[in-house]
Amino acid sequence: MIRKMGLVVWLLLELGVMVTAVAAQDTLRLSLSRDFGAGFGADIQGRFSMHVEGPEDLVRVLFFIDETQVAEQTTPPFRYQFNTGSYAPGVHVLRAAGVTADGRGLTSNTLTRNFLTSSDANQRVAMTIVPVIALGIGVSLFSWWLASRGQKASGQPAINGPFGGSICPKCHKPFARHWWGMNVVVGKLDRCPHCGKWSVVHRTHPDLLQAAYAAVLQAEKSAVDAPPPSAEDEEKTFRKQLDDSRFDN
């Protein structure tokens, strides 16, 4: 009895597979791809393509938007490209119909899409991108605030910030670039808080900033440990500074 029931179940499963296969041969699969534009779920704007897949003996496909036939294809790949701007804004139904070599008529699934205007799509894009940008800026500012707190707690001056850090090409000391610095093609025109001179600086990796700061500390320590300069050395240093200032001007 159990073996007979098992045989019946197996036959039913096989029959279901055969029915599914036959049904698949008598239907078309319609899909939509974005070529250029914006898509927000069922809301679309721009240039899109309708694609149809069907049995191997498919010889003709008709494309419809609502109840209007918009294209006919007789050779694969069965594809129709359209622009949403060519149709009235609002909800539209996309579908396809096909004919096989032996004359069988096939129908596809339907796709419902809401065609947006370009202005509506731009607003949607802005509503999506602006919060992401704001979140990114907020995370950067928060990270900079945490780093600044750590630097202040350790007594270290700010050498990095939300606009990055750089090393002054004049005094070779690291500093955080200012928000009011002028962006130029090759970098940022900024003023060094250590020597007070203006120069075009580039964003420097934090590891290099720390290395430059360590070098400054080492130089200051060496200067403290070094014996006091003689009068002759002070005169040479003064003349060198005078010559350097003359070249800077």
Number of folded domains in the chain?
Answer: 3
Q: Say yes or no: 205 and 164 in one domain.
A: yes
Q: Are residues 170 and 185 in the same domain?
A: yes
46 in Cβ contact with 33 (< 8 Å): no
- Structure confidence at residue 215 (pLDDT): 86
Task: Among 58, 93, 116, give the residue marking a domain's end.
Answer: 116
Considering the domain architecture, whether residues 130 and 148 belong to the same structural domain is answered as yes
Residue 20 lies in a domain: no
Give the pLDDT mean for 94-117.
95
Q: Is residue 7 part of a domain?
A: no
Range of the structural domain that residue 78 is part of: 28-116
Asked, for residue 95, whether it belongs to a domain, the answer is yes
Q: Is 168:187 a contact under the CB 8 Å cutoff?
A: no
* pLDDT at residue 38 is higher than 80: yes
Residue whose pair of structure tokens reads 């900024």 in the numeric block: 190
Q: Is 24's pLDDT higher than 60?
A: no
* pTM over the 0.75 mark: no
* Residues 42, 97 within the same domain: yes
- Of the CA atoms within 13 Å of residue 224, those in its CB half-sphere come to 6
Q: How much is the mean pLDDT over the chain?
A: 81
d(CA 42, CA 160): 45
Question: Is there a single domain that holds both residue 70 and residue 56?
Answer: yes
Distance CA 43, CA 93 (A): 12
Between 70 and 229, the higher pLDDT residue: 70
Integer Cα distance of 78 and 93 in angstroms: 18
